[in-house]
Structure 1
């Protein structure tokens, strides 16, 4: 990854976060909590994929339709996130494999 890639990545991230700041406050809170949750247990390809952009698009459509954020995601935001990543290999899966001693994992 060259310096240009890093600079372009930062530009894209800043533009993404500017879109988040344009959301109503309740949407921002839920988005940031989802982001924290997904960065902690989310899919390995979270940064490379379009999951966060897709969530942001979904939220922007909800705002345009005049719906509340909890109408879109429900009361259990973590369960909503889990449904989004249910078929993805996650960091939590890697950790579970390492502590269970499954074949193909390195043991310490």
Structure 2
């Protein structure tokens, strides 16, 4: 009969534990239709920016443009969602212009908000 040593079993147990999904993660809300806003759930500080990114009325390039965020503007991220295009989008307020809107996260510094809507 073959004996298993504890040292041989522990790596397998550790790998199995990594394969279990974490239940504590909160999924992002679904696509934000054109004309949809979101409350400020992201308590992060300012200092975020975009370089000529369109602020849209929903999480889609098919939604109207409310304004444009530039690198000289101060942005306040509110939360993020996942658009129908599969990209994540952050709802934000441009404190330099007062305009709110959705910007695709790959166009934002820090990759956008980390707080789901």
| TM-score over 0.5 (shorter chain) | no
Could you say which structure has the higher helix fraction?
Answer: 1
Could you say which structure has the higher strand fraction?
Answer: 2
Q: TM-score, normalised by structure 1?
A: 0.18
Choose 1 or 2 for highest CA Rg.
2
Q: TM-score, normalised by structure 2?
A: 0.18
